[in-house]
Structure 1
Amino acid sequence: MMLLYAVAAGDADSTAATEGTPLRAHRYDEVTLFVEPITEAPERSTREVFAYGRALHQLWSRFPVLPVRFGTVVSDEAELEQLVAEHGSAWTERLTAVAGRSECIVHLPLPRGAVDGTDKAEQRGTGYLRRRAAEVRSHERETAELKALLAPYASELTDLPQLRPGEARLSVLMADDVVEEVLAAVERWATSRAGATVTGPWPPFSFCQEVGA
């Protein structure tokens, strides 16, 4: 049995990437798959998930990879070869799309007063509802502005699920050589928008179309 970690290009230099780890590289014409030989299915614990994530980041530090959904296993090499036969071309195309690129996430929270308030009676009033609607519309305009600002730099731009009510989270895939320029542009834009922040750059896992068997 093998636990799948990631897919890389067929010519990825896997020797240094797997040295000192339990990972093994299976190289095919189009892609290289990184796996760990196991005797039983992995535990879905926080410790195991974090260890899995660290291994993925270690691989990405050496070359682009597509992460495999945690817990994905194959029984033997024949099943691994079948996966490659079915998905190898699509994986290669996606690897090309993320090579030489990073991901930044821009957070634009909804103004706090639009989400909560201290006066519950006021929250039920017509004035409050009108003010809240105006704040939401303003937030939508700012989100559109932000997307327009990022568009010239972005290879791809996607909306991420909200972590807090009303928050816009935009994930931007960009060439590595424009990351600093993008961070500076967003910082300038955010000077008059309280709460707008950027995290990253990260490996562009939001754009990797996570692999699953």
Structure 2
Amino acid sequence: MAQDSGLFIYGIVPSDVEPTPDAEGVGSPPGEVSAVRHGELAALVSEVVLEEPLGRPADLTAYERLLDGTAEVAPVLPVRFGTVVTGEDAVADLLDAHHDRFAAALDEFEGRVQYTVHGRFDEQEFIGELLAASRDAAALAEQVRGRPEGQSREQRIRLGEMISQSVELRRESENRELIDAVGRYAVADAARAPSHEMDAVHVAFLIAEEDEDEFIGAVEDFAEQRRKLIRMRLIGPLAPYDFVSAHQLVE
């Protein structure tokens, strides 16, 4: 390995896992993915040029594609994006120092994958429901309708605050109802921070392979009941990104 390069670590896997020949890593051009083995563990890595900045959308996509593809066939512990070490000896030292803890975590994730449910309110539908339910909101909407922004600034601010608070309260309710509706098919769940001001639900679930069909069906039922108000997406199967922090992997 060249002196001005390092090894980008994607995740920890059992030692018998082999990267597919066509697996592509981060960087430009994409690095070749290999496995550094130590005891019962291996780390999926690729060589990167240390002076080359990482973090392009293509890099994050390559990182996620490799981990998500691996999770479909074997347990994997994602390592935080951007973790680079000096060489194979440093990787082996990492695996040796945390061998038993990593091995126990891999046993826990055997046959389990993450799914993420992400939904966003239809803004017009949501505001329509709010105005129908709240006299104060409806009065403010009437006061700003057809008036120049400068003349109705205070009312617009108050209405915006009212909508924002209503979204937050409804989001908390929808997240709880989602977990109540589908949680019986999950090993664990983790509410995620909203990625947009109109986010309705955003929850990660850890699912055992034998429960995937029932889980997906329950999510579809939940989404169907709200199809006019919420645009819902089910993302997965994924590597268990939201469930490895408890094992304190490489930071």
Contact 1:104-1:198 at 8 Å conserved across structures: no
Q: CA RMSD in A?
A: 3.4
Q: Deviations over 1:69-99 (max 9, x none)?
A: 2332222333222211322222222222222
Q: Can you list the C-alpha shifts for 1:34-86, whole angstroms capped at 9, x where unaligned?
A: 22234535432233333333333343343221222233222233322221132
Structure 1 gap segments, 5+ residues each: none
Structure 2 letter corresponding to 1:201: G
| Aligned match for 1:33, one of 19, 35, 43 | 43
Q: State how far apart, in whole Å, the 2-side matches of 1:69 and 1:133 are.
A: 33
Code of the residue aligned with 1:206 in structure 2: it is: D
Query: Identical aligned pairs, as a percentage?
Result: 22
CA gap 1:41/1:66 in 2 versus in 1, 3 angstroms: farther
In structure 1, which of residues 190, 208, 213 is the aligned counterpart of residue 244 of structure 2? 208
Does residue 46 in structure 1 map to residue 48 in structure 2?
A: no
1:96 aligns with 2:107: yes
SS in structure 2 at match of 1:62: coil
**1:195 alignment partner, one of 230, 234, 243:** 230
Q: Please, which of 18, 21, 34 is the counterpart of residue 19 of structure 1? A: 21
SS in 2 for 1:191: helix
3-state SS, counterpart of residue 220 of structure 2: helix
Aligned to 2:26: none
Q: For residue 5 of structure 1, report the CA deviation from its aligned partner.
A: 2.0
Instruction: From 167, 170, 179, give the equivalent of 1:147.
Output: 179
1:51 counterpart SS class: helix
Instruction: State the one-letter code of the partner of 1:66.
Output: L
SS in 2 for 1:63: coil
Name the stretch that deviates more: 180-189 or 105-114.
105-114
Shift of 1:173: 0.8
Change (3 A) 1:163 1:36: same
Tell me how far apart the structure 2 counterparts of residues 36 and 108 of structure 1 sit (CA, whole Å).
35
Alignment of 1:52-131 (within 5 A): 52-109=63-120, 112=123, 113=127, 119=141, 120=144, 129=162
With the length of structure 1 as denominator, give the TM-score of the two structures. 0.77
Larger Rg over CA atoms: 2
Whole-Å Cα distance in 1 between the matches of residues 167 and 49 of structure 2? 55
CA offsets 1:125-168 (integer angstroms, 9 cap, x no match) = 69x94x87667545533432221222211111001110112523
- Give distance in 1, aligned partners of 2:242 and 2:164: 31
1:169 counterpart residue number: 202
Runs of 4+ in 1 over 4 A off after TM superposition: 120-126, 131-139
From 202, 205, 213, give the equivalent of 1:180.
213
* One-letter amino acid of the structure 1 residue matched with residue 13 of structure 2: A
**Residue identity opposite 1:67 in structure 2:** P
Q: CA deviation at 1:198?
A: 3.6
Are 1:3 and 2:8 an aligned pair?
A: yes
Aligned residue for 1:25, secondary structure, equals strand
In structure 2, relative to structure 1, the CA distance for the partners of 1:62 and 1:43 (3 Å cut) is farther
Report the alpha carbon displacement of residue 191 of structure 1 after superposing the two structures with TM: 3.2
